Structures are given as C-alpha cells and as structure tokens.
Amino acid sequence: MTFSHNFDETSLREYDIRGIIGKTLTEKDAYAVGRVFGYIVAKEGGKTLVIGYDGRTSSPQLEEHLIKGAMDAGLHVISVGCGPTPMLYFASVTLKADGAVMITGSHNPADYNGFKMMLKGKPFFGSQIQELGKLSAAGGLGENKKGSSENVDIKKEYIARLLKDWTGGSKTLKVVWDNGNGAAGDILSQLVKGLPGEHILLNAKIDGTFPAHHPDPTVAKNLEQLITEVKKQKADIGIAFDGDADRIGVVDDQGSILWGDQLLVVYGREVLKTHPAATIIADVKASQVLFDEIKKAGGNPLMWKTGHSLIKAKMAETKSPLAGEMSGHVFFADKWYGFDDGLYAAIRILDIVARLDKPLSAVLAEMPKTISTPELRFECEDTRKFEVIKEVAERLRQEKADVSEIDGVRVNTPDGWWLLRASNTQAVLVARAEGKSQEGLEKLKQALVSQLEKSGLKAPDFSGEHAPH
C-alpha cells in the first residue's frame, strides 16, 4: 500500500513542523516526517539521519514513530537520545550525518511539540517544509525499504567540546543557572563540574510539564526566580535557557536583564578582537545601540531578517563570525560551528566575565540608554498581514521616509525608530519602537499607530511599561 498522509495545515510552519499533541500533531505525523524527510535525504544521496528529542512527555513516543518512518525510507538512523537541540546539531556535524531531526516544542507550552530539521548541515525550512507537506499528501514515495538504527551517546564529546573554549580568567565566578526544567538539564549538571567557581543550579531536572515557570528567557517574568537567586547569592551572573536550550537569557550581578542585543554587544566586542572589521549580524528588532556599538568596536554591523534559519543562511553567505537575535539565539562561527547553542553562548559569556576588570553590571551601565516598547504582537489574518506591510511601505516611500524593508518596515527618524513586520509563524503583526527620550518615543508610537489606522487596523496597546534599554 502506497504511503500518503495529510498534515494539519497549521503545523507546517516557516522554521519547523509544530503543533498541539493529540490535536494538530500526532504519532502519525511523526512517522510521516520520518518517512518523507527520509525520502528527501535519500533522494539527495544521503544514507544517515541523526535524531534527538527534548524533555517533553510526548517526545519519546514521537521519536519511536519518527525512527520507524525514517527506516522505512531506507535510512540508517542514529538516535542521540534526550538532550538540547544544539547537541543534536553537534551530533549532525561531528557524525557527518546527511540529515538531522530534533523533536522539540522549544519554548512553547507543555502540550506542544514539533520537529526541527537539517539537510546536509543546513537548515531545512520555508518552502522546503511546504514541499515536504505536499510530498506527504501526494504519496508515491515507493515501497518501504529496510533501514537500520542505533543509539549513540554523544554527551561526553559534546560537553568536552563546550569546555574547550573556556580560557578562564583571574576571577573565580559564582554563577546561578536556571535550566527551567528544560532539555539541557543532564548536560548542564555535568558541564558545571568541568568549570571552576561556584555553580547554583535551579530547576535542573528535566520535566516536560515545566512546573517552575514557562521556559522562555525573553519574557522578564520567567527570569524572576533567577534574578531573586542572583541577588540572594551575590552571584556574578545568572544564566537561563529556553526549553531546548538553543537560546540564552542573561542577568548581571545586580539582577538586571541583558537583552539579546545588549548581549551581542558584549560578544561582538570580544569577537572583533580576533576578527577585526568582521561582519556582525543582528535581526531587525535589535536596538540601534547594537549597530552603533559594533561599528565603534571596528566591526561591520549588518541588519537582517528575523528567524534563526534565515540568520544562519546569511552568516554562511557573509562569512560572519557572530550573529544574534533579540530572542536570545546567538550564533558563533569564530571557533564554533555557526549554529545557535545556549550552552555554548553561556561558556563564552562566562569566559568574558571572568576576564573583566569590573562587574558585568558596569558594562551594561556604560551602554547608551534608550527607551523602548516591548515587542507587541497583535492578530492579523495570514491573508492580510503581508498586504498591510506592502501598503505601509508604499506610503512611507511616497513620504520619502528613511525606511529599511529588509524584514517588514523599520523607519528611522531623529527621535529613534519604529518597526512593523509580519510574523512568519503566526497570524500576527509585530511592532516595536525605540526612542532617545520619552517624548521621542511618543512621536514614534503615534507615527506607527497612524500607519496602522490608514490600513484599517486597530493599533496595539502601547500603554504597557516602557523598558529603558
């Protein structure tokens, strides 16, 4: 009987396949991913597929069906077991696999899960995922073949490689870590044994129900426990991860959050010491301060589209040694492999802090201050969201505004900048504004609201607290 399977249309996203377990994502979907992606890998001349999974309660079952599908496609499957997404990326590189699939719901609620894929060491995303869905529905993949599978424990090699880029410093650090009950737990518990200093681990146990708090370090509320403990312990730094540990959150010795762009400034200055005049990439949501500071440090700042797959592709194209996003994805390609790894990013920030002649809070205090809105997301139908961006862009061009159209519209004015872009993964528009003063920020917000109203949309609620940045 010829294989064919229809995915729930909401599960085929821009960067991954993702849905709610038992509703929009099932074990049949897992088998289909294995069978169809396996077919694609084999068609490209590939023979091996490496698979890993996160700590969600649904992940082991999904893995079982994914492996069966990939074996029926004739592949040799290597399972690296439960761990963070970057460990799977590491396995893919070091084992020279032809394809890779990570079963993970990332930072989403506990009832979500999904699949992140790589083909020949590159992200598998966008139109490729849509094509996978079409192939699955059409069938015609040929008869089932007899593949094989094995389990490989790569944890020790991964930890050893993470520790390799720790160079140390004169300071012995006290570090608080918040694993958020995510997939990094077992690795983190071993990793800190190889680091000097004192390490306090919060929520280290892997628990897919996330009993302590939601595993997303870009939301300030999720860092409250970490901040409290950093202050209580008088620690030098606090580090948090998302559910699959490909993103990092950092708080300084005073308990202040270093947002993604501020963190990239710290990393950028360090990387530019050994890679002078290098291109450093950040997404369109990043502060103007980041681009100015990278330039000041002798780098070539490049603003690019939001999305980890898009950033990785741009890094490869520009041979950039460092890139990052506001969401906490940090990509090192100076000594590392160019993929986003929260644990590796943690080693690099600890290495920097251990060599500083001042606390991390002093570095943050010296950065220029701006006032920004939080990232505002508001509903807009998938069929309408890109049209709105086109309309706004057209009006701005007519007004001769200073506008970048790399990803949505980012408008620069003497008061600062505002951004409006369409989400690639949800039926929402995303807005953000950053001003040099409170008065300037109000003007930027008014300009943004005006454009939305001209396109017949109700503006998002800007009344929330503004964060100095």
* Domains of the chain in sequence order: 9-153 (3.40.120.10), 157-366 (3.40.120.10), 371-468 (3.30.310.50)
* Encoded tokens for 333: 């390609």
What pLDDT is attached to residue 414? 96
Task: Output the CA torsion 275→281→282→283 (10° steps).
Answer: -170
Picking from 379, 335, 355, the residue whose alpha carbon sits closest to that of residue 163 is 335
Q: How far apart are CA 335 and CA 121, in angstroms?
A: 17
Q: Quick one: average pLDDT of 60-82?
A: 98
Active-site positions read 106
Has residue 461 got a pLDDT over 80?
no
Beta strands in 226-305 (DSSP E): 237-241, 248-252, 257-258, 279-283, 300-304
Q: Quick one: average pLDDT of 307-316?
A: 91
Share of the chain above pLDDT 90, in %: 89
- Helix 438-454 / helix 382-398 crossing angle, nearest 10 deg: 110
| DSSP codes of every residue in 171-186 | PPPEEEEE-TT-TTHH
Has residue 409 got a pLDDT over 90?
yes
**Bridge partners, residue 329, by sequence:** 247
Cβ proximity of 236 and 176 under 8 Å: no
How would residue 168 be classed by pLDDT, with cut points 50, 70 and 90?
A: confident
* Encoded tokens for 110: 């506990």
- Helix 260-274 / helix 288-296 crossing angle, nearest 10 deg: 10
| Integer CA distances (angstroms), 281 to 325, 328, 337, in order | 9, 13, 16
Q: How far apart are CA 365 and CA 368, in angstroms?
A: 8
Strands 99-103 and 112-119: antiparallel
What pLDDT is attached to residue 468? 47
Q: Quick one: average pLDDT of 124-131?
A: 96
Has residue 267 got a pLDDT over 60?
yes
Residue with tokens 């948090």: 240
154: DSSP letter = -
Report residue 426 CA to chain centroid gap.
Answer: 16
What pLDDT is attached to residue 463? 60
Picking from 295, 350, 306, the residue whose alpha carbon sits closest to that of residue 328 is 306
Q: Quick one: average pLDDT of 293-299?
A: 98
What pLDDT is attached to residue 464? 53
What pLDDT is attached to residue 211? 97
Picking from 268, 241, 229, 257, the residue whose alpha carbon sits closest to that of residue 361 is 257
Task: List helix spans (H) across 115-203.
Answer: 127-138, 155-164, 185-191
| DSSP codes of every residue in 8-31 | PGGGB-SSSEEEEBTTTB-HHHHH
Choice between 103 and 308, residue whose per-residue pLDDT is larger: 103
| Integer CA distances (angstroms), 348 to 108, 239, 240, in order | 26, 12, 14
What pLDDT is attached to residue 469? 54
Burial track 160-170 (b if 16+ CB lie within 10 A, e otherwise)? ebbeeebeebe
Q: Quick one: average pLDDT of 170-195?
A: 96
Strands 322-324 and 279-283: parallel
What pLDDT is attached to residue 308? 87
When the pLDDT of each residue in the chain is averaged and rounded to a whole number, the result is 95
Has residue 377 got a pLDDT over 90?
no
Residue with tokens 């950040």: 282
Picking from 375, 289, 293, the residue whose alpha carbon sits closest to that of residue 326 is 375
What pLDDT is attached to residue 460? 74
Least confident of 51-55, 134-138, 388-392, 463-467: 463-467
* Encoded tokens for 356: 């500083």
Strands 76-82 and 48-53: parallel
